[in-house]
Amino acid sequence: MREFYYLNHSPITSVHFSKNSSDFTVFELPLYEFSGSGEHLIMHIRKKDLTTWQMLSDLSKHSGVNIREFGYAGLKDKDGMTTQYISVNAKFEKKFEDFLHPKIKILSFARHENKIKTGHLKGNRFFIRLKKVLEIDALKLEEALTKVANEGFPNFFGSQRFGAKGDNFDLANEILEGIRVEKNRKKRDLYLSAFQSTLFNEWLYRRVEISKLANEFNKKELSKIFNEEMADELLGQKTFFKLLSGDVAHHYPHGRSFLVEDLKNESERFFKKEIVPTGLMPGKKSVFATTLANEIEDQFFSKSFPYLDYFSGSRRFAWTFLEDLEFKYIKEKAWFEFSFSLQKGSYATVLLSQVLKTKI
C-alpha cells in the first residue's frame, strides 16, 4: 500500500516503536452507557497480544458457548494491550465467573437490553510510547502532533486491513472473478472488504496528491496539470485537503451525507471541522459523487462496478481528526509518550505513519 505523507517536516527516523502491551494500548470507547438491566451480559475485557478472534475462541472454549453467540463492536489489534466490550446472553454469566487466562482478563460485568453489534462504538483511545527519541525529534513530534490535532489527517486504511502477506486484495479478485471459492464466510467478507479498502486508499492517495499540488502551485501551473475549472476550485480553500464540486461530504462526527454544491461555503465548514469529505466504499447502496469529484472517483472505483451486488456499500471519512491529545517527553529515558482518541474506523498506525513520515 502506498502512503502519502502530507506533513512537511523531514522524516523522524531515530525513534523506536514496538506494538507491545507496555508501549501500545487501545481502549474502546462505547457508543452508549449500558443500562444495567436486560437479557445481555456485557463483559469489559482486556487482552494482550491476541486478535479479537483468538480471544473469542478462548472464551468459547472455556464456556462452551458457540463463538457466534458473542457480540462485539470492532476488531482490535493483535499486538499490544487492548480493551473492548463483548456481549453474550446473560444466561451464560456463571460460565465466565471463574475464567482465568494469562492474556485475557474480564475487568467487569454489566447488563444491557441489546446485543453489541459491529460498529456500536464511539471510537478508541490510544496510548503510544516511542523510545530512543532525541530531544530534537521530540520537538518535531510535538509540532507534528499539534498540527495534526488542528488540521486532521488522511483517513487511510491501515496495513493490517490487507492481511499479513498483503494479498487480501488479490484473493478478493479471485473470488469476484470466480477463480476462487471461499466457503468460510468471515474470511470471504474479510477479503472483499480489503478489495474495497484498497480502492479507497488508492483514490485517497490521489486526492491528497492533488491537494498537495494545490498548496504548492499557482493557478497557471495548476491549469496546465488539470484544467482551469479545477484549478479555480482548488485554490482559495484554507484546508490542506481540497474539496471538489460533487464531493459527498458528511457532518462531523455524526449526521448525514450530502453533495457539495456550494464549494465556498462547504470548504469553510470543513475548515471549522463541521463537515468532512468522504470516499466511496463501493456497493449497491452507495452514494456516488458527481461532476468533477465523480471523474476522479471513477478512475479508481470503476473496476468495482461489475461487482457492486457483492457489497452493501457506504461512504468513509476521507479526512479525520484526533481528539483529546496529550503528550510528554521524558528526557532522561528518551521516551516520548502521547495519547489521543480517534473516531471508529480510523487507525492509530496511520496517524503515526503521518507523524513519523515512515511506514508502520
User: Hey, which residues are catalytic here?
Assistant: 77
> Could you give the count of Cα atoms lying within 13 Å of 129 in the half-sphere of its Cβ?
14
Q: What residue type is assigned to position 93 of the chain? A: E
- Name the nearest CA neighbour of 240 among 325, 157, 153, 323: 153
Q: State how far the Cα of 236 lies from the Cα of 271, in Å rounded to an integer.
A: 12
Contact 241, 318 (CB under 8 A): yes
70 CB-near residues (< 8 Å, 6+ apart): 56, 59, 60, 86, 87, 88
Contact 148, 155 (CB under 8 A): no
Q: How far is CA 106 from CA 50, 69, 100, 173, 359, in A?
A: 14, 17, 9, 40, 34
Q: State how far the Cα of 341 lies from the Cα of 348, in Å rounded to an integer.
A: 9
What are the backbone dihedrals phi and psi of residue 16, each rounded to the nearest 5 degrees, phi first?
A: -120, 125
Written as nine digits, the cell of 121 is: 462504538
In angstroms and rounded to an integer, the radius of gyration of the C-alpha atoms of the chain is: 22
Q: State how far the Cα of 62 lies from the Cα of 42, in Å rounded to an integer.
A: 17
Contact 192, 184 (CB under 8 A): no
216 CB-near residues (< 8 Å, 6+ apart): none
- 183-191 long-range contacts, CB within 8 A, separation 24+: 190/163
3-state secondary structure of 24: strand
